[in-house]
Amino acid sequence: RQVDRINELLSSLSKFSSPSPIDKTNVDVESMIQEILRILNHRINEKSLEVKVSFNHPKDLHLALDAEQFQQAMYNIAMNAIDAMEDNGTLTISTEIKKEFRSDESEKPRRMSFFTISVQDTGHGIAEENLKHIFDPFYSPGERKTGLGLSLAHRIITEHGGNITVESEVNTGSLFTIWLPIDSTDKDKRNAA
């Protein structure tokens, strides 16, 4: 058991300290999420978790992503949700297209479209004072974790031009939402063609 933990730590350290360059291809996110759930099926069954999946995006939508890295980010977020729950909890994963006003320092606010992936758990939640550290390297409120999974996921998502937000309530659960601007992924897709 201790050897597995050391191997997990070394693998996480390697991925965190030596990031691979982003190699984008057109990815079917729905298939990717189904594959992650298949990989995590043993842990899901072990904890008798209920899984709810809701795809609320056009079926033909593909995003320009580095499939391997983005799958790693999604795996880390889903695994974090599973680890946060006791037996018989509920894991909910959903996708949606959202429109919001966003801006940076040089622009006026403009309406942008985002592809969002939400991962929600019914776990123990994250205390408000810990939320600001949740994506910090080596930060982990859990005893058996390396503290690199969410940090690595955050880095991968931001390298894709996206963002990740978290909402949490102690003893209720957490909601992690990945925001990927559709405009930039569409532009990358056209440039790759």
Using pLDDT thresholds of 50, 70 and 90, give the confidence band for residue 184. very low
Measured between alpha carbons, how far is 46 from 26 in angstroms, rounded to an integer?
Answer: 33
pLDDT tens per residue across span 160-182: 999 999 999 999 999 999 999 98
Residue 1 burial (CB count, 10 A): 5
Question: What is the extent of the structural domain holding 188?
Answer: 2-192
CATH number at residue 139: 3.30.565.10
Give pLDDT tens digits for 49-95.
999 999 999 888 889 999 999 999 999 999 999 999 999 999 999 99
Predicted confidence at residue 103, as pLDDT, reads 66
Domains identified in the chain, total number: 1
Of 13-22, 43-52, 71-80, minimum mean pLDDT range: 13-22
Which one has a higher pLDDT value, 148 or 41? 41
94-98, 136-140, 185-189: the lowest-pLDDT one: 185-189
Q: What is the pTM of this model?
A: 0.81
| Contact by Cβ (8 Å): 138, 147 | yes
CA torsion sign for 20, 24, 25, 27 is positive
pLDDT at 190 over 50: no
Buried b / exposed e over 19-38, threshold 16 CB at 10 Å, is: eeeeebeebebeebbeebbe
pLDDT exceeds cutoff 90 at 28: yes
What pLDDT does 147 receive?
A: 67
What pLDDT digit, counting tens, does each position of 141-154 carry? 665 566 678 999 99
